[in-house]
Amino acid sequence: MPVSFSPAAHDAALEAIFVPFETGNLMLPADGRVLFLRARDGFRLREMAQKHWVCEQSFKPFAEALERSGLAVATPGGDERFPLVLVLPPRQRDEARALFAHALRRASEGGVVLVAVPNAEGAKSAENDLASVAGPLNQISKHKCRVFWTQPLGSQVNAERLEAWALLDAPHLNEAGYVSRPGLFAWDRVDTASALLAAHLPADLSGSVADLGAGYGYLSTQVLAHCPAVSSIDLFEAEARALEPARQNLQRALHDNARAVPFAVHWHDVTQGLPRRYDAIVSNPPFHQGRADLPELGRAFIDTAAHALLPHGRFWLVANRHLPYEATLAARFNEVRTVVTQDGFKVIEARGVRA
């Protein structure tokens, strides 16, 4: 059951970022070359985009939406420089600062970095941050957003701060001892729900395992630590920025547990199904997009798990206690049991995939 994990129908920041061109405050580059960081598909972008525009987007469903609209999508982190760099920054401040550093590095000498942020999502702080590294900015407000852009870039850029902010995005150990980076789900800790599921994983899980919505790989490390009969594990995660931390965490878990289990980390939208079948699947599925609850995402993860499990397969998931997943589970599995309810979460095991 594919589910829409696509950008919102009305994207105020995406509309606002093009206002300076409508008002005549800015002109598009003469050579037509524009880089759009964290681009999101939408009517206004499709109207404005030209042949030499390049979009960077690390979230798989958003990247695929851009590609379906015929836009050029590049893997984040390139080094080609552009006369204009557009940015839709994330909410997490260190992640946004690292993205500003990336934008400034990708702008040509004399180029411009242009940003739009909703007022309710820290727009003023974001503007102050960019100004502190890029020098004086121009600013207008539209669509309940703040739109701001640099002067033609040159010697006013604070090179020392730029370097420090670029390092904020480097994978590093969080306080829980796992490799992570700002902006990932529960990036600075082990989230309570995943810890609850890990504490109740059965030691007799065996064979091939998939971790759906794996994040930086915490659940998979726990599978390796507590389930000695697991012979392989695949991690599926829609956020590309999580892949390298997950690889590092799995490699360390294998070393710490003196095991040689094959694993693979996939940049993949779980709601679109999996490429193979498994003996067991574990998941802490997402249930929101932005600030909006979206329980159909969790239901889509359940459907994907049911399609991807072998007949004898087992599905272990954790969810917020209030989420109504039981009907979906009962429709797809013969046996469903709640293992534990604690701290506002529930751990569920499902077996016997229905035909």
Residues 274 and 207: their CA atoms lie apart, in Å, by: 17
Residues 265 and 336: their CA atoms lie apart, in Å, by: 28
What are phi and psi for residue 190, nearest 5 degrees? -95, 120
Domain 12-169: give its CATH superfamily: Vaccinia Virus protein VP39 (3.40.50.150)
pLDDT for 177 equals 97
Residues 265 and 14: their CA atoms lie apart, in Å, by: 31
CA distances (Å), origin 233, targets 1, 145, 228 = 24, 43, 12
Band (pLDDT 50/70/90 cuts) for residue 287 is confident
45 in Cβ contact with 67 (< 8 Å)? no
Q: What is the mean pLDDT of residues 199-208?
A: 97
Specify the DSSP class assigned to residue 76: S
CA distances (Å), origin 70, targets 51, 61, 63, 65, 354 = 10, 15, 11, 9, 39
Residues 39 and 309: their CA atoms lie apart, in Å, by: 35
Closest CA to 193 of 218, 161, 169: 218
Band (pLDDT 50/70/90 cuts) for residue 77 is confident
Question: What CATH code is assigned to 172-353?
Answer: 3.40.50.150
Q: What residues does each domain of the chain span?
A: 12-169, 172-353
For the stretch 12-52, pLDDT in tens is 999 999 999 999 999 999 999 999 999 999 999 999 999 99
Long-range contacts for 256-259 (Cβ within 8 Å, ≥24 apart)? 256/225, 257/224, 257/225, 259/224
Confirm whether pTM is higher than 0.85.
yes
HSE (side-chain half, CA atoms, 13 Å) at 209: 28
53 in Cβ contact with 28 (< 8 Å)? no
Q: What is the mean pLDDT of residues 125-148?
A: 97
* DSSP letter for each residue of 1-39: -----SPPSS-HHHHHTTHHHHHTS----TT--EEEET-
Strands 137-142 and 145-150, by their bridges, are antiparallel
Higher pLDDT, 1 or 351: 351
pLDDT for 2 equals 46
CA distances (Å), origin 145, targets 9, 18, 26, 142 = 17, 12, 17, 5
Torsion sign across C-alpha atoms 277, 282, 217, 236: positive
CA distances (Å), origin 142, targets 19, 44, 119, 124, 147 = 8, 14, 10, 14, 7
Mean pLDDT computed over every residue of the chain: 94
